[in-house]
Structure 1
Amino acid sequence: MTIIDGNARLPARTGLRAAHDLLAVMDRLDIEKAIVAGGGYISPEQLSHHVVHGGGIDADIDHELLLDQCALAPERLLPVYIGNPYRGSERYRDCGSDFHALKLAPVLHGVPLTDERVLSLIEVAEDFGHPVYLHCLHRSGFEVGELVALARRFRNLGFVLEHAGVGNCDFHALAAIAPEPNIWFETSGGFTLVVQAACERLGPERVIFGSEYPMHHPYAELAKLHCLDLDEAARGRVLGHNLLGLITRDKPHA
């Protein structure tokens, strides 16, 4: 069964060693591929403060470093572009063909999903056929309702709701995204109860395994998924098949 980690990070501070460390973990757990974004640009303490109180910083991701990290195993480490709304969308347009998805980081940058600068990044993702990852928050401009509005505006684009919604038992998010077939549910951090419900209410074809490595170990997320009441076909969809389809979905013709 193909296993793909749909949400991992490669910290910048440890350079190429970060890629070696992730690959070693993947080898131990038989994870074939991982979707990876740059990480380590904000401390866990500051990140937590943004989640609770709001706020954001103008943080640029070193995407050249990320590409160098992924070049150690290009068939296994699939880089994601983190859009910085403070810098516009032209950088992404210039280099987007080197990436497999766009990640929006409102908890890092503090820019609402309704902001025109965010919309311009999404428009570029649509041109590339990239799915859009994002983490919602309990705050106006960042809520699951804003994600739903984006999914309705960009019907041909795939969106991934990271971290099992807002909080670890977010049945509200499940209800909100259920009618929107272009929103997928990523499992990292969610209780088994809510992930099981996602498989039942959305269908296993809209659920994606992710770990949020290195903040959360893939072994823990895999153990959680193996606790679910899923048949082998459904488990295979969640563990890898769905993500493979998403990152190759609606690509523009060369």
Structure 2
Amino acid sequence: MAAGPGPDPPGPARRLARHGAARELVRGPRPGQRPRCQTLRHRRAHRPDRAGHAVTPAAGARGRLPLPGPLFDFRVRLRPAPASAEDLAAGLAAYGIRRAVVTPGGTAPLEQISRQFLRGGGIREDADNQAVLKACAGLGGALVPCYFANPHHPRAYAEQARDYAAVEISPAVHGVPLADPRTAALVATAAAVGHSVYTVCQPLPGSGVADLVRLAAGFPSVPFVMGHCGIGNIDVYGIRLVRESPNIWIETTGGYTVTLRAALAHLGAGRILFGSEHPLQSPGAELAKLAALGLDPTTWARITWENAHRILGEDIP
């Protein structure tokens, strides 16, 4: 269900208007008067606690949204850089994200990947999966390791799969279509170890949403996650294509609110996973998009917390 009152926090402009400050942003304060919005920010940032001491927000909390319940982000990436795991965890915690599924990032320059997404082609190199495994092991379950499988070297995934919780297969990165037998071989390994398969469809032969539907039909026991709500921001058609495939979920990064509304209508809240693609996208941007839908508490909890546990085969705390 997508209707009903829910966590729909007002935007900055509405908050300012509520306090009578919108006019001052346009006209400026009266002579001798401090800008009211500045005063409000100052009061909120330094309001005293019960003991009378000033309280300053933690670093990174400035953009935090007042949203209910714990959050599980199904799509974040670990940059290949020193201390990136700690930076990643801190950046997520600033938005109330308690857990996240992590895949290696930095496999190729973004300009190259965007070109390959539209025109084809790919790389043959493996992602640094060991770095993700090491990072996740040191953070007490807050980060969940996802293996980035390379269809050019399928044996590596088969040998290491049991150390990870899920797998990603990316035609846009490695250039191997979803309809390719090498992709099917990776999915067969996922089926054997109980992994979900995350992938992003392309507007290219063999890697479209219809190809994902056919692949999922061949592996009915495998949960598939269609990243980014399909192809582009408004792939309502793609959402409709996966409706009759009960083992295909969608992940919310990038899709417009109209696309998410279509997903709720066609698939229901039980087949939608919150994801941010952090650090490429701010978790705050993706959470604001969800909050704008005015979801009821049950729907909100399914999308932002419960479904991720279910698809990973975990108990919901």
Give the structure-2-normalised TM-score: 0.76
SS of 1:29's equivalent?
A: coil
Aligned to 2:265: 200
Task: Tell me if structure 1 keeps the 8 A contact 2:79–2:106.
Answer: yes
Q: Displacement, 1:229?
A: 3.1
Q: Displacement, 1:74?
A: 3.6
Q: Displacement, 1:32?
A: 0.9
Greater shift, 29-38 or 69-78, is seen at 69-78
Aligned to 1:58: 124
- Which 4+ residue blocks in structure 1 deviate beyond 2 angstroms? none
Alignment of structure 1 residues 172-183 onto 2, 5 Å: 172-183=237-248
**Runs of at least 5 residues in structure 2 that lack an aligned partner in the other structure:** 1-68
What is the distance in 2 between the residues matched to 1:18 and 1:107? Answer: 24
What is the distance in 1 between the residues matched to 2:285 and 2:235? Answer: 19
Larger Rg: 2
1:139 aligns with 2:207: no
Task: Tell me if structure 1 keeps the 8 A contact 2:229–2:250.
Answer: yes
Task: Tell me if structure 2 keeps the 8 A contact 1:85–1:117.
Answer: yes
Aligned to 2:296: 231
Aligned to 1:169: 234
Q: Deviations over 1:2-41 (max 9, x none)?
A: 21000000011x13x1111111112211111000000011
1:160 aligns with 2:228: no
Matched AA of 1:167: G
Task: Tell me if structure 2 keeps the 8 A contact 1:196–1:229.
Answer: no
1:29 aligns with 2:95: yes
Give the structure-1-normalised TM-score: 0.94
Greater shift, 205-214 or 20-29, is seen at 20-29
Q: Deviations over 1:102-155 (max 9, x none)?
A: 100110000011111111110010011100000001111100011000111111
The equivalent position to 1:4 in structure 2, one of 69, 72, 75, is 72
The equivalent position to 1:210 in structure 2, one of 251, 272, 275, is 275
What is the distance in 1 between the residues matched to 2:212 and 2:77? Answer: 22
What is the distance in 1 between the residues matched to 2:129 and 2:183? Answer: 18
What is the distance in 2 between the residues matched to 1:51 and 1:116? Answer: 20
What is the distance in 2 between the residues matched to 1:230 and 1:116? Answer: 40
What is the distance in 2 between the residues matched to 1:147 and 1:229? Answer: 30
Task: Tell me if structure 1 keeps the 8 A contact 2:104–2:148.
Answer: yes
1:108 aligns with 2:154: no
What is the distance in 2 between the residues matched to 1:193 and 1:222? Answer: 15
What is the distance in 2 between the residues matched to 1:84 and 1:174? Answer: 26
Aligned to 1:93: 158
Q: Deviations over 1:80-113 (max 9, x none)?
A: 011101112x221222111111100110000011
What is the distance in 2 between the residues matched to 1:234 and 1:99? Answer: 28
Matched AA of 2:148: I
What is the distance in 2 between the residues matched to 1:139 and 1:129? Answer: 29
Matched AA of 1:57: I
**Runs of at least 5 residues in structure 1 that lack an aligned partner in the other structure:** 250-254
1:120 aligns with 2:185: yes
SS of 2:94's equivalent?
A: helix
Matched AA of 1:23: A
RMSD (Å), alpha carbons: 1.1
